[in-house]
Amino acid sequence: MARYVANKHDTILDVGAGTGLVGVALAELGFEQIIGMDILPGMLTKAAEKGIYKSLVCCSIGDE
């Protein structure tokens, strides 16, 4: 991701955020605007514990 997105202030959508491991890796690379999305509320609770997501959304792809 860091190779292709030069602006660390761009918003990144972590689809299928799960427990937030990818979000942590993105934050370690300097990304600051990370939004997490997952279909399972319990996974978003775990992701929230990481403290790196600007917001978390419980939905699946295609939901309105």
Instruction: For 1-60, write each residue's pLDDT tens digit.
Output: 888 998 999 999 999 999 999 999 999 999 999 999 999 999 999 999 999 999 999 998
Tell me, what's the pLDDT at 64? 72
Within-domain flag for 43: yes
Q: Is residue 24 part of a domain?
A: yes
Q: Which domain holds residue 51?
A: 11-58
Per-residue pLDDT, 28: 96
Q: 28 in a domain, yes or no?
A: yes
Identify the bridge partners of residue 55 per DSSP, sorted by sequence position. Answer: 35
The region that residue 2 occupies, defined by phi over 0 for left and psi between -120 and 50 for alpha, beta otherwise, is alpha
Kindly state whether residue 3 falls inside one of the protein's structural domains: no
Residue 61 has pLDDT above 80, yes or no: yes
pLDDT of residue 36: 97
Whether 6 is covered by a domain: the verdict is no
Number of domains in the chain: 1
Q: Report pLDDT for 62.
A: 81
Query: Which pTM does this prediction carry?
Result: 0.89
Tokens of 29: 């690379």
